[in-house]
Amino acid sequence: MIWGLCLLCLAGGLGAAHAGPLRKTGKTEDNTVQQQDVNVLMFGVIQFSESLKYAFETTEAKIAKISQTLMNHEGTLQKLGEETEQAAEEEKQVKEMIQLLQAQMAKQQAETKMTKDWLAGMEQEEVALRTKVKKLETYVDTSSSIKELQERAEEHSYVLKSLQHLTQFHKENIETLNEQLSKLQEMSENTT
């Protein structure tokens, strides 16, 4: 395309040089001047065409470089979009896990409170039974029916031992629940 433009300019320049009126002075000087003008015009056209060619090639290279940069940026943007979606999904999963852990912790706390209340009631009953046993022992000292009182004392002793075992079992259960609750709280704090 550039060479076609150059040839067109050259042909126009030559046509203008020859289309002008010829002087019949007979001087070779005029022909030399005209030839020099044509040479200058030709040199200018060649330089102009080289400049156009250089501008075209550099512009084409710049456009290719810009296109490559745009493609790289598009790839980076796509990758960032995918990473953002993945991070949002992971955040959603973490929130769901935290909600689940909080629900489990609330349930464990409720169970622990119920067990503590029950144990407190059992301890009160144990105190009441001990008081009854002491009264019975006092009564045994003053009573004439020792055998009957001994049987009652053995029954109460058995009941007390059973209550002590039951109380110990519930205390261990509360300790286990407290350890589980502590672990759940640590897991919840670590996930946030």
1-5, 39-43, 174-178: which has the highest mean pLDDT? 39-43
pLDDT in tens, 96-135: 988 988 888 888 888 888 888 888 888 888 888 889 888 8
The boundaries of the domain holding residue 187 are: 39-191
Any domain includes 9 = no
Any domain includes 28 = no
Any domain includes 149 = yes
Q: What is the pTM of this model?
A: 0.37
Any domain includes 141 = yes
Which amino acid would we find at residue 151?
A: E
Any domain includes 119 = yes
Contact between residue 123 and residue 115 where contact means Cβ atoms under 8 Å apart: no
Any domain includes 23 = no
Non-local CB neighbours of 128 within 8 Å, separated by 6+ positions: none
Any domain includes 27 = no
Any domain includes 2 = no
Number of domains in the chain: 1
Output 136 or 48, whichever has higher pLDDT.
48
Taking CA 31 as the corner, what is the angle to CA 26 and CA 33, rounded to the nearest 5 degrees?
130
